[in-house]
Amino acid sequence: MLIPEQVRDSGCSRIRILVLTAGLETVACTIRGLLLCCLLQTSCAMAADRQEVNLQLECSDGQCVNLFTCQPVGSWLSEFSSTVPPDRVIRDADADVSTAVYRSVSEDNRRVRLFPCSQLFGTYLAGPKEPRMQMLWLSDSRSDKTYGDAVLGGRVGLVRVEGDDSIAEQFQLDIDGSVFARILPVEESAELKGSDYLVALWGTWKTGRLAVRTGYRHLSSHLGDEFLLLNPNYPRQNYVRDSLLVALSYQPDDQWRLYGEYGYAFGIGGGARPNECQFGGEWTGERSPQEYGAPFSAINVQFREEQHGNAGINVSAGWGWRADENGRHLRVGLNYYNGPSLQYSFVDDDENLIGGGVWLDF
């Protein structure tokens, strides 16, 4: 836990950061102090005139005591150094153990969190292209093949701003990335048929049960090397989408959620067209007690312009366990999908998949 504390010394303001490390190594204390130092430098610039600011890092286990001094030096650094008036720094006893917190006492009482461990805009439970950990075994009635659909990915919060803002109560910046791989487990050497790659940057605003997010997403699709060796004449398509997206999510209560998303791709290739959208709904049962988990069910409907109205419908249901402190959701259950291929290199193929597996959502 990081506790900012204001101390007066020789006419300048000193910020003492008490790091309750509970036995962590010295290097962990130093890293937390450096991260918070950067945040304090930026915040102090808006507080008052530029003067010397001292940042003291103090570990409760006595392993390290460091003092950072920020002074105007006539360069870009001077823009981030200033006196901190006594009424601008307060003790934050509610700081998250894994989150550096600096609270500036101002009219809107904003609070900034670095690397928040939870999300303001949760993963679509039935979304087939969501950043998560996943392993599904699926049977396709159209091709009479068995697929293993694996996802290796995740989403990380970079910064969260909380306060009585006129636009939203909370804002968070996130980055995510994923690899969506399809293997043919019953074929020779369990060949990799293809893989899609996704990376995105999101900004989310949330007030009450309504969340709005917008961002940029890159998605590209590639055929597997073994698949190409076994099918040398297969026409390769370099499917690419560079998109700007906007999405809304609303939770009427703690168990239900509705959402919709629209994206426009300004960079396309391999048969992709600019417009896409998806929408869906989710239900998660009440947990009593929490460690027993709860049932869930979800549906997602997705349209891409190149599919000429052919929707992809994905339905998931099963049992899941959710962690309250970070929102991570471990699920096991069944999955059904009907629509265009979930591997975008096969943009002209349709699939009818049924199976099950495990998901870990962030």
CA dihedral 41, 44, 49, 55 (to 10 degrees): -60
Residue 164, classified by CB atoms within 10 Å of its CB into exposed (0-12), middle (13-18) or buried (19+), is exposed
For residue 33, pLDDT over 50 is answered with no
Cα distances from 146 to residues 138, 227, 340, in angstroms, run 6, 15, 17
Cα distances from 288 to residues 285, 292, 321, 358, in angstroms, run 9, 7, 11, 22
For residue 61, pLDDT over 90 is answered with no
Start-end of H helices in 19-153: 26-44
Would you put residue 143 in left (φ > 0), alpha (ψ -120 to 50) or beta? Answer: alpha
> How many whole angstroms separate alpha carbon 300 and alpha carbon 282?
9
- The 10 Å Cβ neighbour count of residue 42 is 13
Is 322 within 8 Å of 83 (Cβ atoms)? no
Range with the largest mean pLDDT of 19-28, 106-115, 287-296, 353-362: 353-362
Residue 308, pLDDT score: 86
Start-end of H helices in the chain: 26-44, 225-230
Is 182 within 8 Å of 195 (Cβ atoms)? yes
Is 129 within 8 Å of 176 (Cβ atoms)? no
Indicate the SS3 state at residue 160. Answer: strand
Is 179 within 8 Å of 195 (Cβ atoms)? yes
Indicate the SS3 state at residue 128. Answer: coil
Name which of 105-109, 167-171, 309-313 the model is least confident about.
105-109
For residue 123, pLDDT over 70 is answered with yes
> How many whole angstroms separate alpha carbon 297 and alpha carbon 334?
10
User: pLDDT by residue (tens digit) across 124-159?
Assistant: 999 999 999 999 999 999 989 999 999 999 999 999
Range with the largest mean pLDDT of 63-67, 178-182, 187-191: 178-182
Helices vs. strands in the chain: H and E counts, helices first: 2, 18
For residue 47, pLDDT over 80 is answered with no
Name the more confident of 304 and 75. Answer: 304
Structural domains of the chain sorted by starting position, each given as residue range(s) with its CATH number in brackets: 2-112 (no CATH), 132-361 (2.40.230.10)
User: pLDDT by residue (tens digit) across 251-289?
Assistant: 999 899 999 999 999 999 988 999 999 999 999 998 777
- The 10 Å Cβ neighbour count of residue 64 is 17
Name the more confident of 165 and 322. Answer: 322
Residue 290, pLDDT score: 74
Name which of 111-115, 122-126, 207-211, 335-339 the model is least confident about.
111-115
Residue 292, pLDDT score: 87
- The 10 Å Cβ neighbour count of residue 147 is 22
**Global confidence as pTM:** 0.69
Any residues with CB less than 8 A from the CB of 14 and at least 6 apart, and which? 6, 7, 8, 53, 54, 55, 56
Residue 185, pLDDT score: 86
The values of phi and psi at residue 332, to 5°, are -130, 145
Order the strands of the 2-9 sheet from edge to edge. 2-9, 12-19, 53-59, 65-70
Residue 166, pLDDT score: 60
Residue 65, pLDDT score: 41
Burial 323-361 (b: 16+ CB within 10 A, else e): eeeeebbebebebbbbbbbbbbbbbeeebebebebebbb
Any residues with CB less than 8 A from the CB of 128 and at least 6 apart, and which? 300, 302, 312, 314, 337, 342
Residue with tokens 């909380």: 162
CA end-to-end distance (rounded Å), the chain:
23
